[in-house]
């Protein structure tokens, strides 16, 4: 290289600053959780079922993580069963409800018919698809209750209107991953509990209540006593933990049925056998500790930044051009979620994102990201018009997102839309 040539490094473009606003899809691992995973890998590598010191150390770590998760959701340590993630936990609840219905039927010598499950039409695929599969195989009947286009919620009266004598499970998510709308789970549980007392007298099966709390944990109050549910799904990677999960069960195998889907070495009291993933469980426990200590501060911070984002969008594009898809009269929503559309032809969400230089976000649930320009079925279910839903972007704030990040993102969106408007005019 001749001395007058610039150094090679200076010829490379500077790395582009990125702003990640897709925290409803996944969150980065909290440094404390990452440290807990590393420590467990190095120091608690023993088999938790072994009785020697290395095994006991791993077992103690798992016990401590179980206590942390129980504390986070207001349950007891024995109510927590570790799983590979939310999908397994949700499938386990559906499997249990069906099995419990069949066993109760056999025990009482009654013939109630096919088990029936009630859910909403905006659930995660790990609820919707197992239920559709059971229907296909004639193993269960399912009612997908439409959410109200006015509130974006699965209203309790609508859920109750769907209940039949053969209903064995009601599963309604705690908060929606796309709109952020919080569902009336506490009221639903109270009403199901009262109904179950009447059904017991009539010799009808108990209706179990489940909520998938994947999106709510770390962003708002989650207390199983207050919610009154039998089951609650916990997903680590939505609250800065590793990619495993847990299922809260109110007295598993005693107060509330729980049937394993796997059979093996008896771990997790045989509810979920398989040698425990000690490092990930330790990381999950640490992430839960952070939530228990700080959730109110996280919630206040994320709400402030999200509200600032929506104000900046309206100021930059004009109120007429921004449609806030997650604003429903009388409904509460997650503190971090903003689903909006920038109105105008050629501004489909995916096209806008592809023209952004800094923003990392999505048009909806990450699991549906291969569906082209077809708008989100969840937004359409909530009564958002097709052409508006097609332009939707879902931005979800994190613990570390700042107002300065928002300024950069809004600037980025303005340049992307200007570019697309220009292309449209040609």
CA 333 to chain centre: 13
Cα 314 from Cα 362, distance rounded (Å): 20
The pair of three-digit structure tokens given for residue 399, joined into one six-digit string? 């613990």
Q: What are phi and psi of 114, to 5 degrees?
A: -85, 135
Q: Which residues pair with 333 in a beta bridge?
A: 181
Is the CB of residue 318 less than 8 Å from the CB of residue 244? no
Catalytic residues: 367
Positive or negative torsion for Cα 130, 176, 246, 115: negative
Distance, CA of 90 to CA of 221 (rounded, Å): 21
d(CA 182, CA 211): 11
What would you measure as the largest C-alpha separation in the chain, in angstroms? 93
DSSP string, 308-345: HHHHHHHHHH-GGGEEETT--TT--B-TTEEEEEE-ST
């Amino acid at each position: 290289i001749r001395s007058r040539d610039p150094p090679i490094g200076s010829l490379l473009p500077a790395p582009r600053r990125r702003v990640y606003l897709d925290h409803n899809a996944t969150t980065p691992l909290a440094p404390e959780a990452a440290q807990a995973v590393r420590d467990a890998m190095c120091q608690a590598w023993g088999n938790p079922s072994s009785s020697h010191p290395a095994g006991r150390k791993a077992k103690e770590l798992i016990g401590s993580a179980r206590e942390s998760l129980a504390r986070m959701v207001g349950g007891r340590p024995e109510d927590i069963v570790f799983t590979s993630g939310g999908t397994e936990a949700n499938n386990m609840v559906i499997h249990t409800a069906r099995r419990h219905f069949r066993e109760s039927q056999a025990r009482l010598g009654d013939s109630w018919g096919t088990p029936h499950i009630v859910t909403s039409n905006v659930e995660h695929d790990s609820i919707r698809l197992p239920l559709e599969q059971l229907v296909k195989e004639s193993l269960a009947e399912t009612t997908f209750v439409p959410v109200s286009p006015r509130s974006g919620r699965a209203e309790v009266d609508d859920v109750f209107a769907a209940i039949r004598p053969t209903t064995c499970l009601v599963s309604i998510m705690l908060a929606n991953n796309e709109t952020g709308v919080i569902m009336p789970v506490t009221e639903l549980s109270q009403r199901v509990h009262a109904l179950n007392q009447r059904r017991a007298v009539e010799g009808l099966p108990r209706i179990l209540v489940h909520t998938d709390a994947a999106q709510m944990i770390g962003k708002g109050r989650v207390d199983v006593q207050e919610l009154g549910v039998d089951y609650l799904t916990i997903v680590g990677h939505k609250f800065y933990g590793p990619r495993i999960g847990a299922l809260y069960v109110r007295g598993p195998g005693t107060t509330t049925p729980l049937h394993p889907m796997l059979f093996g070495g008896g771990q997790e009291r045989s509810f979920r056998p398989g040698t425990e993933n000690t490092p990930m469980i330790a990381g999950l426990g640490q992430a839960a500790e952070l939530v228990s200590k700080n959730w109110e501060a996280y919630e206040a911070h994320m709400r402030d930044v999200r509200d600032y984002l929506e104000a900046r969008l309206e100021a930059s594009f004009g109120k007429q051009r921004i449609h806030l898809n997650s604003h429903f009269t009388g409904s509460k929503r997650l503190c971090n979620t903003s689903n909006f559309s920038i109105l105008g032809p050629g501004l489909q969400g995916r096209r806008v994102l592809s023209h952004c230089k800094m923003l990392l976000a999505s048009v909806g649930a990450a699991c549906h990201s291969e569906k082209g320009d077809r708008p989100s079925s969840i937004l359409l279910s909530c009564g958002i018009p097709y052409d508006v839903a097609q332009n939707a972007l879902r931005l979800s704030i994190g613990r570390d997102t700042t107002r300065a990040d928002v300024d950069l993102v809004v600037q980025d969106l303005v340049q992307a839309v200007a570019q697309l408007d220009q292309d449209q005019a040609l």
